A and B are shown apart, each in its own frame.
Chain A
Amino acid sequence: MCCWVCYLARVRLPALLLLTLAACAPPAPRAPLLRWGGDAEGGAPFVEADLSAPATVRGFDVDIAGMIAAGLGRRAQFTQVAWASIEPSVDRGDFDVGMSGVEDRPALRERYAVSLPYFEFRQVLAVRAADTARYRTLADLHDQRVGTLGGTGAYRLLLDAQTTHHLVPVSYDDDVHPYTDLTAGRVEAVLLDHVLAERALRRSSGFVIQPTTIALGHYVAVFAKRNAALRDSTDAVLRARMADGSLERTFRAWAVWDDAQARYQARVLTTPHSASGTSLAMPGTSALPPSQWSALVAYLPALLRGALLTLCISAAAMLVAVVLGSMIAAGRVYGSALTRTLLSGYVEVVRGTPVLLQLFVLYYGLSDVIRLPALLAAILGLGLNYAAYESEIYRAALEGIARAQLEAARTLGLSEWQIFRLVRGPQAARGALAPMTNDFVALLKDSSLVSVITVVELTKQTAIYATNVGSWAVPGALCAVLYLALSLPLSRAARRLEVRWSAR
């Protein structure tokens, strides 16, 4: 007891007093903010939500942002932003600086002010243990599927290798599923930076990381062009923290420090820096940024293929939705009480949950039971989802047919099936045409969601294009034009058919 009082008097009380004083004291003039954006979904060691205080973030990018802010006499304030949107958001002024494993590349430097690269990473191949001897380099992966995170330098490397080595790049929206699909046998290898690869290896086993460095890359902080002065002061802070060992301590704390990193920092510190920031071009990628025009010419075929894929997926999914939707509607109108309950249960569950979740469950969730190819999973996922909506349209249309028509058909001696096929169905189809067209147009756009299960359709292709040229303006406009080119003729055809039918 006595000890406790002593402890309180010696240690706790002064601390409590200090805290109370601090709370009562007039607020000191607060330092200006350095707003920085990153993606906590990227996770450790970059940026992750702190499990003990989920509202705050931690990671080496968080620590470096804090260092930069302190060096500039500012306070760091974090803004959550999707990784693919870091660059356009910094351009919009949502925050002053973007950091979250942002990769240095020529197109980025063309459109943004880019900091001194503060970390050097290696692009490495991960393969199943059994394939260690077989797949050592990209050249070994002829005709094989190789996964990576879409929009990254690794993805660009794979796209280049598509022509040089005939491998098949598979784009993922996160860095977890490439590795689970690798162990599941859906891809033969994964190309990503060594930080992500080593993290994946800590999470699961069943694959190895090949020692060969496929390419080198660098993480940078990105600023809007108009903020070049802020970038320059940031570079000075980064150099100072490299020189005084703070960066090394941070990287050690997050277990990403190695000899290669030490050699890289030594090289940076001995290189005289220019005012426009140090440019360390990535080996293995072209040093010259493509112009808007040549980028358009280069990406147009890919966009057109994406549009064709979008159309095919949508048409096939709609076919599934129409056939299944008709069956559900017929079951709900004609079926027994049990059938009706089961079917309305299906409709409510499917309509009440996000299609994105359904796609995930179908592709990844069920992969232990049934391993669907991505394209089939996409068509089935969208088709099963839209079937619920279609069934409601058809049910309403079927129930909208006047009772007298059905009774007249009965008095003529037609069977229930004949009445459905010859009288009720065809008239309901006319009533359902307009909402169906509407749904198909919606499906064309919803099909962009299938990129989460590695299908590179029009929107994903556009995102890749936009990331590589560092702007959404031209790719976005082109993408919109292609979607309209798909949906407008359909709307017009449906309208014409509707007019023809309503004339009767």
Chain B
Amino acid sequence: MTLAAGAPALVIDGLHLSRDQCDVLRGVSITLAAGEVCALMGVSGAGKSTILRAAVALEPFDAGRVRVGDVELRAGPVPKESELRAFRRHIGMVFQQHALFSHLTVRENITLAPVHAAGVSQREADATARRLLESLGVAHRADAYPSQVSGGEAQRVAIARALALDPQVLLLDEPTAALDPARRGALAESLRLLAQGGRGLLITTHDLEFAKEVADRVIVLAAGVVVEEGAARQVLEAPQHEATRALLA
């Protein structure tokens, strides 16, 4: 699904979330445009991963809303999976530890959801998987099991899996955590290509170099609120807020 560049792909509006009487998010609003790569930064515990989890309907929130395409999540308990079918088609997530299904091959990991959740034929799903794996440079590992591939390969497979249903928004949680610097550049390049195809990408990261390479825009989060946001170079080279400066130090 492709939106016109610049149209809002993901709208997070006034998100409040508390857990065990502790405010994790205190009114976070983020709008992600189609074709845009946005880096979500902040120290550990600032609430970055929680935003992604709430945005992908894994975590209930107390106030605010999340809108993807024409589907909206409201405050309160996470809806049943049967009610989230349309929502899930529009937004994908790549987990920090990849979370590949260890009993399935790389190809089967990618075709599982298209075949069983979207009703795509196995032949068609296989073709899509092959194309995605080729575009991410891991086509030669299609028949390997997750335990047989490297960390970098596993991440590409996880990205391919999240893309198999062609979502307009892709969330990535700390994608460089397990990557050596040499691979970082290649990953940034792949992600930029995805954005050029019209997707919106929201990426949590600690990695300044990676953020500079990959992101159009940087959002800095501290203690559950957005404290600074702007074009990547501007925020990272001329930080205004204390929390941003602490990140850069």
Of the candidates A407, A427, A501, A504, the one whose C-beta lies within 8 Å of that of B95 is: A407
Indicate if the CB atoms of A413 and B101 lie closer than 8 Å.
no
Q: Which of B112-166 touch A at CB < 8 Å?
A: 112-113, 116-118, 145-148, 161-162, 165
A367 within 8 A of B: no
Indicate if the CB atoms of B89 and A413 lie closer than 8 Å.
yes
Given contacts A411-B88, A413-B165, whether A430 and B93 have CB atoms under 8 Å apart is: no
Indicate if the CB atoms of A427 and B117 lie closer than 8 Å.
no
- Chain B residues near A501: list those with CB within 8 A: 103
Indicate if the CB atoms of B99 and A408 lie closer than 8 Å.
yes
Given contacts A411-B56, A427-B102, whether A404 and B89 have CB atoms under 8 Å apart is: no
| Chain B 56-69 interface 0/1 with A at a Cβ cutoff of 8 Å (1 = within) | 11100000000000
Indicate if the CB atoms of A404 and B103 lie closer than 8 Å.
no
Given contacts A405-B99, A408-B95, A426-B103, whether A414 and B117 have CB atoms under 8 Å apart is: yes
Additional 9 contacts, C-beta under 8 A, given A407-B95, A413-B113, A414-B116: A404-B99, A408-B101, A411-B56, A411-B162, A412-B112, A413-B85, A414-B113, A415-B117, A426-B103
Q: Within the assembled complex, what's the spacing in Å between the Cα atoms of A181 and B134?
A: 73
Given contacts A415-B81, A416-B81, whether A404 and B117 have CB atoms under 8 Å apart is: no
Contact-residue size bin, chain B (C-beta under 8 Å from the other chain) = 20 to 34
B21 within 8 A of A: no
Nearest residue, chain A, Cβ from B93: A411
Q: Within the assembled complex, what's the spacing in Å between the Cα atoms of A418 and B161?
A: 17
B151 to chain A, nearest CB (A): 15
Q: Within the assembled complex, what's the spacing in Å between the Cα atoms of A412 and B95?
A: 12
Indicate if the CB atoms of B112 and A504 lie closer than 8 Å.
no
Of the candidates B103, B161, B165, the one whose C-beta lies within 8 Å of that of A427 is: B103
B63 to chain A, nearest CB (A): 23
- Chain B residues near A411: list those with CB within 8 A: 56-58, 88, 91-93, 162
10 contacts between A and B (CB under 8 A): A404-B99, A407-B58, A410-B81, A411-B93, A412-B162, A413-B113, A413-B118, A422-B116, A426-B103, A427-B101
- Chain A residues near B146: list those with CB within 8 A: 504
Indicate if the CB atoms of B103 and A418 lie closer than 8 Å.
no
B3 to chain A, nearest CB (A): 19
A370 within 8 A of B: no
A215 within 8 A of B: no
Given contacts A422-B116, A504-B145, whether A410 and B58 have CB atoms under 8 Å apart is: yes
Q: Within the assembled complex, what's the spacing in Å between the Cα atoms of A423 and B81?
A: 16
A337 within 8 A of B: no
Q: Within the assembled complex, what's the spacing in Å between the Cα atoms of A430 and B104?
A: 12
A130 within 8 A of B: no
- Chain A residues near B117: list those with CB within 8 A: 412-415, 418
- Chain A residues near B100: list those with CB within 8 A: 408
Indicate if the CB atoms of A405 and B58 lie closer than 8 Å.
no
A338 within 8 A of B: no
A248 to chain B, nearest CB (A): 79
A402 within 8 A of B: yes
Indicate if the CB atoms of A504 and B148 lie closer than 8 Å.
yes
B149 to chain A, nearest CB (A): 11
- Chain A residues near B113: list those with CB within 8 A: 412-414
Q: Within the assembled complex, what's the spacing in Å between the Cα atoms of A411 and B97?
A: 15
- Chain A residues near B85: list those with CB within 8 A: 413
Q: Within the assembled complex, what's the spacing in Å between the Cα atoms of A411 and B98?
A: 13
B243 to chain A, nearest CB (A): 28
Indicate if the CB atoms of B116 and A418 lie closer than 8 Å.
yes
- Chain A residues near B147: list those with CB within 8 A: 504
Residue from the set B81, B82, B89 with the largest chain A CB neighbour count within 10 Å:
B81
Q: Within the assembled complex, what's the spacing in Å between the Cα atoms of A235 and B155?
A: 89
Q: Which of B33-92 touch A at CB < 8 Å?
A: 56-58, 81-82, 84-85, 88-89, 91-92
Q: Within the assembled complex, what's the spacing in Å between the Cα atoms of A405 and B82?
A: 19
B164 to chain A, nearest CB (A): 8
- Chain A residues near B57: list those with CB within 8 A: 410-411
Given contacts A411-B58, A411-B92, whether A402 and B99 have CB atoms under 8 Å apart is: yes
Indicate if the CB atoms of B99 and A504 lie closer than 8 Å.
no
Nearest residue, chain A, Cβ from B59: A407
- Chain B residues near A422: list those with CB within 8 A: 112, 116
- Chain A residues near B93: list those with CB within 8 A: 408, 411
| Chain A 395-429 interface 0/1 with B at a Cβ cutoff of 8 Å (1 = within) | 00000001011011111111110100011001100
- Chain B residues near A416: list those with CB within 8 A: 81
| Chain A 414-450 interface 0/1 with B at a Cβ cutoff of 8 Å (1 = within) | 1110100011001100100000000000000000000
